[in-house]
Structure 1
Amino acid sequence: MSAARTSPYYHTLPLQPHPPTAGTPKPACHVVALACATTFVLALLALLAATALDSSASLWRSTPLFRAVEPPVAHTLGAPRPLTSAPLDAALRGQPLKVGSTALSAAREPVREIDPSLYFVKRLTKDDVEYSFARSGGAGGQNVNKVNTKVDMRFKLNAHSWLGAEVKKELYRSEGGRINAAGELQVQSTAERSQLKNIDDALRKLQDILDGAAERARPTIATAAGQAKIKKQKKKANERRLDQKKRQGKKKSDRREGRRGGY
């Protein structure tokens, strides 16, 4: 028997447990619990990811941009017919869009084509107008103010269905002083000494007025070349204005110098 067991204090010493070694296996219940927890966490993450993707897809489908490019599902048998959005494709390719629209607004709203009938003006004839004759004013001589060569021509705006609605609006806006209470556009001609020539001259005046109104009323698509042309025309017009102003100033200056020299 060892000396420790023969000691009188042997039974009074507390028993110390043996420390576990590195190679001691864990109980099976711990492994199962860890596997269950891992599986639960992975399932929860997958559920959260699926919910996030579904909400993102629903939000995207609710946007106007998706509705503009979403292909419709055919209600008849067969495969659905794909539908592309022309404005969006044009915007992505860098092509110019329709009048007054951007890429997003063109994708949101259907493209409205320009109706040519709204800006139509035909070539006028004598059957489209009414006219009367009167004596020409001004100085006499060679029987000018003694015969009825003056032409008063009237064009009824509401009597012609072929005249575009936008052209009518522009005429009322820009030529209101020529339109009487009966809705007639009036012009006069005393350029010639013949009634027939004055009729033709009045018809040309009316045609120019109608064509100008149609040109102003018709919308245009601004392009880089068009903007450069407009800028160049404005520059030339400003140069002509300044040149005319200098000439007028020189005339006045020369006139003042002449008066001073005369005294």
Structure 2
Amino acid sequence: MDYRPYTFLLCLALLSCGQGKHPGYTDAGAQLFYKLHRFGDTEKKIKNGDYVKAVIQYTDSAGRLLQETPNSPDGSTIFQYVANHDLPLSGALVYFSEGDSASVINEKWKIKADIRIVKVMTKQEYELEQKRMAELGELEENRRLQRYLRENGLRPDTLGNGAFLLEKEEGKGPGVKAGRKVLVSYKGFFLNGRCFDSAAVKHPLEFTYGAEGQVIEGLELLLGTMREGGKSKIILPSHLAFGGQGSSTGIVPPFSTLIYEVELLKVETNE
């Protein structure tokens, strides 16, 4: 019997695999497709509950950049993999190991993710890694702060808890107390002088002093020493600002010492 026609059909079938809507990608189900570009040197697969350190870049269907992970020196982020969460990468991560580089297309979310798995950690390994990174981050932050003070010839007064008061112009109005509404104009800077946030005099920040979660701890500490009409400039180490996690927006990196220029425009006393 001549098997050549069947052999030809089998080869044709094999060649057609992965040549569907997303050529070169493997269908993982649930509208997910993935393609491995590089295999890591280990067989440490990602399991449910593991912590994953990865560099990720998200683009839309037109290839426009949507989001990347800039919150650390190597551009990586750490997250916990939970199998049943409906997130862009969730269903594909189980196919990857430490060191792998891959692309994932999620048709439901209409996005593509390029991901490099830097490290896969158990909960215990993650906690040890966080402790080590915190110690390194605090040391490096203190070095940067001391260098800034030295290079600028600054010997500022301490306000307490590690804050440094650079300038202060006393106000003549009422003081700030818990429960009073305040209107504040401010500018926030990194040590290199770049402004990352501001609230102008025409559009001030208004909030109730003492209410939880209104402003970072360092600004609340400063405002508690001011009176209406006063101006201050202060250096805030990260434990009084956005800490070892950085800001939720990703604008302020972890362990960032910040400088704020603050003007207390109004204190409502209801008197």
Q: TM-score range by the shorter chain?
A: under 0.3
Task: Compute the TM-score of the two structures, normalised by the length of structure 2.
Answer: 0.19
Structure of greater Rg = 1
Richer in strand (by share): 2
Larger fraction in helix: 1
State the TM-score, normalized to the length of structure 1. 0.20
* More RCO (CA 8 Å, sep 6+): 2
